Amino acid sequence: MSGRLSLFDVLKEGGYEACLVSTFSLDFGFYEDVMLRRMSTAGVRHHLLFVDAGMCQQALANRAPQKLGFQYSLLPMVCNGAFHPKVLLLLGKNKGLMAVGSHNLTLSGFGQNLEITNVVRYGRDQPEQAGLFAEAFRGFQSWLADYGAAVPASIAEGLDKTLSLCPWLEKALATNNTAAEARFLFSSAATPPLWQQVQPILPTAIDQVVASAPFFDQKLAFLSVLEQRSNSPPLIGIQPDQVNAPRWRWLKTHDLQWST
């Protein structure tokens, strides 16, 4: 499915009690005054926020949080590089919604920028997705174990307490349930790099790579890797005024053909 997703419309459906979020950058004003308020009104009462430690310090300098500690818990992630996953899990007794995309927990990320998000739902009519949610929850467990040394134990315990609100997820974890047709891959200190995880599940022959991205390594090394795996040159969509890449041929976004 492709199209726009309104998180607020999703919340109106009801049935969610917990929310786990991971983000690189954070705007306390947007989170507390907009997202947290809407989620609390909709009955979501258990909130854990995983944030890159360095960006968290910047956010604290911009605005002191008003509701931290009694309406939600903050878990700064301390790692050598950037803590960069953007995952949102809404969890309830009989349902779940997962959004994995490019959006930071800011007004720009959820309202102004052009972002992309993959959405998966779990429910009585979609029980096969439980394995995908279990893989995502293991990601949060791994990030906490690898990067959450500074998080107080009383706050860290909140992650396991989440499972009491969604028994179907606890069951999926206990049975080591994994996703069938899709996978949730994540990197952490205890895992191989993400590309090493992706390569074994790629098809042997790749006709073409089509992608869009705002950031690239200076030598375009990863793009060269993709080119080697593809039978035709990769087609990469960018913003020309934001990316310095003179070796590329410019294409307007409406010239790209996307399949869903």
Q: Measuring CA to CA, how many Å separate 109 from each of 23, 29, 194, 255, 256?
A: 10, 13, 23, 25, 23
Structural domains of the chain sorted by starting position, each given as residue range(s) with its CATH number in brackets: 7-191 (3.30.870), 202-255 (no CATH)
Element (H, E) at 147: helix 130-147
For the record, the structure tokens of 110 come out as: 């959820």
Q: Higher model confidence: residue 72 or residue 3?
A: 72
**Minimum mean pLDDT among 14-18, 135-139, 180-184: which range?**
180-184
| Residue 118 tokens, joined | 């993959």
pLDDT of 245 strictly over 50: yes
Q: 10 versus 167: which is more confidently predicted? A: 167
Would you state the pLDDT for residue 154?
93
CA–CA dist 164, 169 (Å, integer): 9
Mean of pLDDT values over 38-48? 96
For the whole model, what pTM was predicted? 0.89
Mean pLDDT computed over 121-146: 94
Amino acid at 220: L
pLDDT digits (tens, 9 = 90+) for 158-198: 999 999 999 999 999 998 766 567 889 999 999 999 999 99
Percent of the chain with pLDDT over 70: 90
What pLDDT is recorded for position 1?
47
Residue 122 has pLDDT above 70, yes or no: yes
Q: Hey, which residues does 47 pair with through a beta bridge?
A: 19
User: What pLDDT is attached to residue 254?
Assistant: 52
Question: 209: exposed, middle or buried (C-beta count within 10 Å: 0-12, 13-18, 19+)?
Answer: middle
Confidence of residue 10 (pLDDT cuts 50, 70, 90): confident
Mean pLDDT rounded to a whole number for the chain: 89
Which band of pLDDT confidence, cut at 50, 70 and 90, is reported for residue 144? very high
Residue of higher predicted confidence among 8 and 47: 47
pLDDT on residue 260: 41
Confidence category of residue 217, pLDDT binned at 50, 70, 90: confident
- Residue 117 phi/psi, 5-degree rounding, is -140, 135
Question: In the chain, what percentage of residues exceed pLDDT 90?
Answer: 65
How many whole angstroms separate alpha carbon 174 and alpha carbon 171?
5
Angle at 214 between CA 77 and CA 235, to 5 degrees: 130
